[in-house]
Structure 1
Amino acid sequence: MICIDLEASGLAHESYPIEIAWKCTDTGDSDSFLINPDSVPEWQYWDEFAEELHGIEPELLQQEGISADQACLRLNRALKGREVISDAFEYDGFWLRRLFEACGMQPSFHLVGLEAVLSAEERIQYQFIARSQFRRHRALQDVEDLISAITAARSGVVN
């Protein structure tokens, strides 16, 4: 199972991805990186409330972020042909589309929501578990929380 999470500049239609992380439970492989929005001139939108949630400042993105092209290539190399799970399918799907469209590329992997791995009953348990987790909203920690919550929901364990 591979899970992914994205952090973004906000929730508005003009928002864009600023951090992506994924992890494979089978191999333990993972990756996490920041994206420098300066690599896509039309990416100008910034929501200070979103910044409060994830704690990522624009200066950090400029200093440590990779280009949007590098992000697409890195994701496609690592996730090629794989099904990748998101617990925020609509948002993460939107931001991945923004990323790949900005670079004129297509993802080599397939994004799916929780319904691909959890039954309706397990999704209810998942929601309960996920709400009880403290989240700083950094992508890699959110991926690890997602994996923990999916595992607990599948086993019927609710804290």
Structure 2
Amino acid sequence: MSSSIAVQLVCEAGARVIGTGRAGDRDTALDLGADAFLDLRADPLEDAGQVDVVIGGDILDRSAALVRAGGTLVSPPTVRPRDGQTIFFVVEPDRARPADLARRVRDGRLRPIAGAVRTLAEVLSAFAAAQRAPGKMIIRVAAAE
């Protein structure tokens, strides 16, 4: 699941969210509902304080020390919080989930972030490029009519 979708879903569930990423991600994370944002290159991760849940990503190992006693580190854990638990998150097929997410998008409760639109022939070069583009890449398989 995209981190932009995850932020919105956990915010809707009532969680306080601290987004992390590059400085250029700050406005997007806050716009999606994050309460705070830490620039991983400039801000000390410890500024987040103790947290209940850390959800995977590039900083998972660095974040383990932030999990409060009884908290949870989610997928795929390569380290363990001192007094917390780890959960290995596995995506399982569920026909109802995409329908629920589509309903949230239609209702305006969930905003997917679409990035660049590429043709099928451009996919390999687009993924090989070292540039990060905001949003998810959309791959156009058939020509528009």
On whether the aligned pair clears a TM of 0.5, the verdict is: no
Higher relative contact order (CA 8 A, sep 6+): 1
| Structure with higher strand content | 2
Pick the structure with greater CA Rg: 2
| Structure with higher helix content | 1
The TM-score, its normalising length taken from structure 1, stands at 0.28
